Amino acid sequence: MEIADAGGGFDKSNRQQSRPPIIGAVSLLLLLIADASNGGGVGGTVGGGGGGGGSGGGTCGLAELTCRDGRCVPIDAYCNGEDDCGDGSDEPAMCTPCNRTYHGREGRTYKLDLPRPAEERLPFLCHLTFTAAGQGYGELVQLLWDAFSVGRVDATADNYFTSCPEGSLQLAELGRHFTGGSWCGVGEGGASYYSETSTVTASIRLFHAPATVPFEFRLRYRFVARNEAVARLGKPELPIERGSPVPGTYCSRNFYECHLKQCRLQSPNYPGEYPRNASCLITVRQKEVPTCKHAMISVKSTPTGPVGLNAAINASLSVWQDCPPEKDRLIFRDGARTEDPILLVYCGGPLPQVTARGPAMQVEFRSSPVATALGASALRLELELRVIYVDSDGLDYAKGAQGCHFFVNGTGVGSKRSGIIRAPLHALPPGSSCTWNIKGATGDRVWLYFSSYSQRDFTNNGENNVSADGTPPQCAVKLVFWDGAPNTGQPMAMLCDDTPKLCAHAALRNVTRSTRPCTTDESYLTTAPTLTLRMETILGTALHPVNFHVSIFLNYYETQRPTIVIHIYIYKTL
């Protein structure tokens, strides 16, 4: 494979009239003789500045070229097709922008145009290295493409080795693992890349270039200080906590104590393109928990919304079976391990809030190994990380990993015989169930009514309502009432995505307002002193939350006087 270099990697026929090989060689020899007699030539073949050229004596800066007459021109004047020096020393014969290191001053935008390589020069490999040198020369690199077209994307390929048959672009950063992913085809407008380190290298490969496949590579690049990268790092007075990088990984991070910080989960190289074939494990943990409290980790979209989805914010949600391995996706787990239950698999659309059961959550970011067009990254996003506290002895969360079971005992002497119960304030994995067991004393009967009930589907797409094996479930949410214990009692009611009996006017009742009692057509009454309510959700509750408000009374029927009254308000908000 031929590697383009400053001595002849490009035939400049597309910029100026081509020269015969002998004349070109003679011209190059005369140029070298004149260069030696003048003490240098164009300064800085790597980086462009500071090379001892002509009478300039190396007075040009790191981001400048030294002309033969000693004048200084910007670094992007080299081999740009224009005689910026006035003597042609910035446009030597057979020059190329490839295999050079580019620097620049903060606050200035530079340009680079890579011409189409001649057919006889293929296969072609070009490295462009951009380095932010600090002290006025920036700390991070921004690459912005005005035009990109390299080869084509093979939509039938299933790996990055074959998805770009004609050519591709790869980006690598100094000190970070190389993912191996590529971009090819015709890029989308406004594609950008923001480095995480001070040096990024763009490698352009072209194996063969049919006339029907265009080639364009027009780039603007900038070098910025960290305090200017507010979209990623936040303002100096309100910095964004991005987690601690995990050594030996490309983009894995650990977050701790987000109750004290502005924690944000960002896609790699946010807010620009992220590499292909990348895998990141983001773990969020809360170690400090106040006495008598329980912590739960919650993730939701920031107010501005995902960057990559702003244009399609009203698009339908893509989850679960819509997210195969060839798509970029996020996987939310109820815990800090990859073995923990999966709450949601997400790959596009408006993301609802996802809350874990405990003080740890893992979010896995995966970009597909298959190449895509530059600018087509679908998950350029920023998510807000929050910590939710509830009472540790309350019934707001499932205390076990195998499901949620709540027990209210009104039989003991001196036991609390009234209270409030909430449905879990966290998401439930698919295939989960929650059970509430209300037990009264001998002779009690349980009377309950719903003052409100709602069941939502955030997907708004029936095709997404499938179980893990790909078959539509019979019930997204199933409610079962037992008159007594489940193993010995009789089913009172079984609801399959249906609304129970409602006593809606009871919602108007408060300390200053009384309403009429609920009738038997608006409520449920047991014959046994125990009631069991079971909610089954095949699809989980991250995308299918259920909200209901239930009041339950236990009445002693030997004297027809109520001996205990328990008000239970069950609702779910996600």
What are the boundaries of each domain within the chain?
96-227, 229-391, 404-460+474-556
Query: Is the bond into 271 cis (omega within 30 degrees of 0)?
Result: yes
In 293-393, DSSP assigns E strands to: 293-301, 318-319, 329-333, 342-348, 354-355, 360-366, 382-391
Query: Of 283, 349, 353, 345, which is closest to residue 320 (Cα–Cα)?
Result: 345
pLDDT > 70: what percent of the chain? 80
Pairing type for strands 192-194 and 140-150 reads antiparallel
Residue 22 is given by DSSP the state H
Out of 16-30, 211-225, 375-389, pick the least confident. Answer: 16-30
| pLDDT of 560 | 44
| DSSP code per residue over 213-227 | S--EEEEEEEEE-GG
What residue type is 498 in one-letter code?
D
In sequence order, the β-bridge partners of residue 147 are: 218
d(CA 70, CA 214): 39
Give the mean pLDDT of 179-198.
92
Tokens coding 473: 């479930």
Say whether pLDDT at 149 is over 90: yes
| Residues 410 and 441: beta-carbon distance below 8 Å | yes
Say whether pLDDT at 552 is over 70: yes
Which letter, b or e, does each residue of 259-288 get, where b requires 16 or more Cβ atoms within 10 Å of its Cβ?
eeeebbbbbbbbbbbbbbbbebbbbbbbee
Query: Do 96-227 and 229-391 share a fold?
Result: yes
d(CA 126, CA 455): 57
How would you classify residue 59: left for phi > 0, otherwise alpha for psi between -120 and 50, otherwise beta?
Answer: alpha
Say whether pLDDT at 196 is over 60: yes
Tokens coding 119: 């057919």
Give the mean pLDDT of 345-367.
95
pLDDT confidence tier of residue 25, bands split at 50, 70 and 90? very low
Q: Return the CATH class of domain 96-227.
A: mainly beta
Query: Of 479, 483, 510, which is closest to residue 572 (Cα–Cα)?
Result: 479
* Angle value at C-alpha 265, between 343 and 178, nearest 5 degrees: 100
Cβ atoms within 10 Å of 428's Cβ, excluding its own: 29
d(CA 114, CA 122): 15
| pLDDT of 63 | 94
Say whether pLDDT at 314 is over 80: no
Tokens coding 288: 């400090």
In this predicted model, which residue has the larger pLDDT, 138 or 309?
138
Say whether pLDDT at 309 is over 50: no
Tokens coding 93: 């014969």
> 229-391: CATH homologous superfamily?
Spermadhesin, CUB domain (2.60.120.290)
Query: Of 161, 158, 98, 150, which is closest to residue 129 (Cα–Cα)?
Result: 98
d(CA 385, CA 295): 13
Query: In this structure, is the dihedral angle defined by the CA atoms of residues 126, 131, 136 and 139, taken in order, positive or negative?
Result: positive
Phi and psi at 371, nearest 5°, equal: -65, 160
* Angle value at C-alpha 204, between 200 and 209, nearest 5 degrees: 170
The whole-model pTM stands at 0.82
- Count CA atoms within 13 Å of residue 66 on its CB side: 26
* Residues 120-136 pLDDT 10s: 888 999 999 999 999 99
Give the mean pLDDT of 222-227.
96
pLDDT confidence tier of residue 466, bands split at 50, 70 and 90? low
| pLDDT of 99 | 95
What is the residue-averaged pLDDT of the chain? 82
Query: Of 505, 502, 508, which is closest to residue 448 (Cα–Cα)?
Result: 502
* Level-2 CATH architecture, domain 404-460+474-556: Sandwich (2.60)
d(CA 204, CA 190): 19
SS3 238: strand
In sequence order, the β-bridge partners of residue 452 are: 549
| Residues 543 and 317: beta-carbon distance below 8 Å | yes
| pLDDT of 453 | 87
SS3 310: helix
Burial of 326 (0-12, 13-18, 19+ CB in 10 A): middle
In 320-359, DSSP assigns E strands to: 329-333, 342-348, 354-355
| pLDDT of 441 | 84
Say whether pLDDT at 562 is over 70: no
Say whether pLDDT at 365 is over 60: yes
Residue with tokens 């072609």: 124
